[in-house]
Chains A and B, each alone.
Chain A
Amino acid sequence: MAGTIEREIPIGAVDDAQSLPVLGKLHEWVVTVDHKRLGIMYIGGGLFFFLIAGLQAALIRLQLAVPEAGIVPPQVFNRLMTMHGTAMVFLVGMPILTGFFNYLVPLMIGARDLAFPRLNAFGFWLWFFGAFLLYFSYIAGDGLYGAGSAPDVGWFAYAPLTELPFSRGNSTDYWILSILLTSVGSTATAINIITSAFCMRCEGMTLSKMPVLAWMAIVVSFMMLVALAPLSAAQVMLLLDRFLGAHFFDTQAGGSAILWQHFFWIFGHPEVYILVIPAFGFASEIIPVFSRKVIFGYHVMIAATCAIAFISMSVWAHHMFAVGMTPAGNSFFTASTMLVGVPTGIKIFNWLGTIWGGKIRFRVPMLFSLAFLFQFLIAGLTGIMLAVAPFDWQLTDTYFVVAHFHYILVGAIVFMIFAAIYYWFPKATGRMLSEKLGKWHFWLFLIGFHMTFDTMHFAGLQGMPRRIYTYQPGRGLDTFNFIESVGALIQGIAVLIFVINIVRSLISGEIAGDDPWDAWTLEWATTSPPPEYNFAEAPVVRSRRPLWDLKHPEDPDWKYE
């Protein structure tokens, strides 16, 4: 079957790879504007910071493993907590997800590159510099005052705590500038993705024939455009306060102490969906292929995504119930937050409907996707619980909240990132990841994840506060925290296996071929790895599964769509 594909879609993969010296190869990567290389650089950079921020999390868990541990002093703990949160969102989640969009969207829509390749490279290097700047603060954050090294103000950096009188030194400035730069980089990527998806689809690919992932890329890009700008604006205000003596968040001059919270969460809540919708996209590509069925409810899936994007812009103040808003405000944000559960539930049923009656193949990407389904459901349910304002008053700033959002960020997003890496690694490198190591990775990570984050719910219900560097013995928290830390250790081992798997497979993995999963979207029509121009001849599609049509000319999809 693979043979016929090669004949019918002329790839024309001319082998023009000259053997360049190491420096020449490096130079090629630095000056590249190719969406695939930039995508790989985004993902590689994101994984690098995933290891660093993961190590910081491990240090946090080490400190909290036993009461009054004294391994990490309180100031250092605050820095660890801030850097872990900031890095995981802006230096891990964002680049890995934009990296996948970079790599996949042009291939999926049958284009040769993104609409603005140089803007794409510009965005990447801005992100790279911003990421460097954040960790450079460990060396340079002292500033002129000898106060602080890395930022220690939390990933949300609440003003007025971040105002000059309370955050001396330059560590907070590093936080502001670094995130400002990475946001501009993400905005550039978002503009690029939207333009590419609207203007560069191959012949026959109408908007309603685009792969679901490409649709989700559009929706997320729109969200980035609308939601990242408020954070940048607030950061500019904070910079004006800190350097020019403005009073945006200065309570002494009549400024508001909660304005920053509003601005931050207007960004912060959509950000959660910016991170999780790409995970939905991965699931919507992987689950059908491994269930051997068409995605269930394509149009509803996309409508639900748009609904989530829309509603998620109006739920931000559910992060602020404890601030003390009016009853009307509390009711509105409780109701709007619960409303998000509706389209989200629709999506879960769509995936279940796809699996229902399918011929399931339990390969590693599918395993991660199935775990994602369960964990995402639980994360959604605790989300509904926290949306109820009185319940939130009781549990705000406890480990229950920490458990809830890690269920989304790790249980849903990180699991789907792993699934996506196992699924598309063969396309990007031409080699399969080891299935055996992959299963070790999956099961260990699953066990570790549940040990850590299931237990956190109970610690939170027992009243363990967030962001504390230690706790006293005999308060009913010792066992929970110890189990959480052991779970973190197991997750660390799983990630180590994952790294070993990547390195080993890069060197001596099984050769993948063009289409190892017998999939249906256009990226599998070209070689693995694809040539720089993707497709020698622009593809023409007639249905949502162009490769199915090719492989089954007797029963093509376009007869039924």
Chain B
Amino acid sequence: MAAAPATTQPPARAWRETLPGKGHVGILALILTETSFFSIFVVAYVFYLGKSLTGPFPKDVLSPPIVNTICLLSSSVTVVLAIRALRGGSTRAFAVWWFITFALGVEFLIGTGLEWHHLIYHDGLTIGTNLFGTTYYSLVGLHALHVTIGLLLILLVLILTMCGYMSERYIEKTDVLSWYWHFVDAVWVVVFITVYVIGR
């Protein structure tokens, strides 16, 4: 604007650097709405604790998936290491840590699948059995859905990296994806405490 004296105008680039990055603000907004979404399912779970009219009940059939939890939580560490490697300029180290993250996530999904298989075929618990089944499968399933979406995105980045497309240009975008992954892990902490600690 011509009205302002030129000496007081900061350069446009300096101004733009004071503004936060679009990807990170966007993913934080998404995380906020997802948090609200999950909390309703958590509230429903807690609200219906002990309200099932028929068995099986949580304390009879649930055992804490310790290995699964360790895998998922450590994938949050490996994803940080991957991003750090990328920022350090080593695409190879990034690919290795990124692959480990993916593998840990897949292990978590497989573990959940086995747990469900046991619950369904051994204990006879389905989503329609009682209130426990209803709230358990929907809450844990909702989280597993988010893990699946995250894994698909991680896989996409992995494939693109294998094909040699990963470069410094995409650090911010990859970092945004890692924030989503941290969120998925944080949700698991809440789900774990709700379902396997408080709810048992």
Contacts and interface: CB of A to CB of B under 8 A. Distances in A.
Contacts of A224: 33
B181 to A, nearest CB: 18
Given A233-B40, A233-B41, A538-B12, A240 B138 contact: yes
B20 A226 contact: no
Interface string A174-199: 00000000000001001110110011
B37 A232 contact: yes
A476 interface: no
Nearest to A233: B40
Interface in B110-153: 127-128, 130-131, 133-135, 137-138
Residue with the greatest number of chain A CB neighbours at <10 A, chosen from B3, B127, B133: B3
A203 B33 CA distance: 30
Contacts of A474: none
**Interface of chain B: mostly helix, strand, loop or mixed:** helix
B1 interface: yes
B22 A199 contact: yes
A8 to B, nearest CB: 5
A190 B29 contact: yes
Question: Interface residues of B toward A: which range?
Answer: 35 or more
B164 interface: no
A198 B12 contact: no
A246 B48 CA distance: 13
Contacts of A228: 33
B9 interface: yes
Contacts of A245: 127-128
Nearest to A206: B18
A226 B127 CA distance: 27
Interface in A1-38: 8-9
B64 interface: no
**Interface of chain A: mostly helix, strand, loop or mixed:** helix
B25 A246 contact: no
Interface in A525-552: 538-542, 546, 549-550
Interface stretch (A247-255, A281-289, A501-509): A247-255
B3 A553 contact: yes
Interface string A217-252: 000011011111110111011001000111110000
Contacts of A311: none
A207 B91 CA distance: 38
Contacts of A429: none
Interface string A196-221: 00111101100000000000000001
Contacts of A232: 37
Interface string B7-23: 00110100110011110
Which 9 residue pairs spanning A and B have beta carbons closest together?
A245-B128, A229-B36, A233-B40, A229-B37, A225-B33, A246-B134, A191-B29, A203-B15, A254-B53
30 contacts: A116-B26, A190-B33, A191-B29, A192-B26, A195-B29, A198-B25, A201-B19, A203-B9, A203-B15, A204-B4, A204-B15, A221-B29, A225-B32, A225-B36, A226-B32, A226-B33, A226-B36, A233-B40, A237-B44, A237-B138, A246-B133, A246-B134, A247-B131, A253-B131, A254-B48, A254-B53, A254-B130, A255-B51, A259-B44, A542-B1
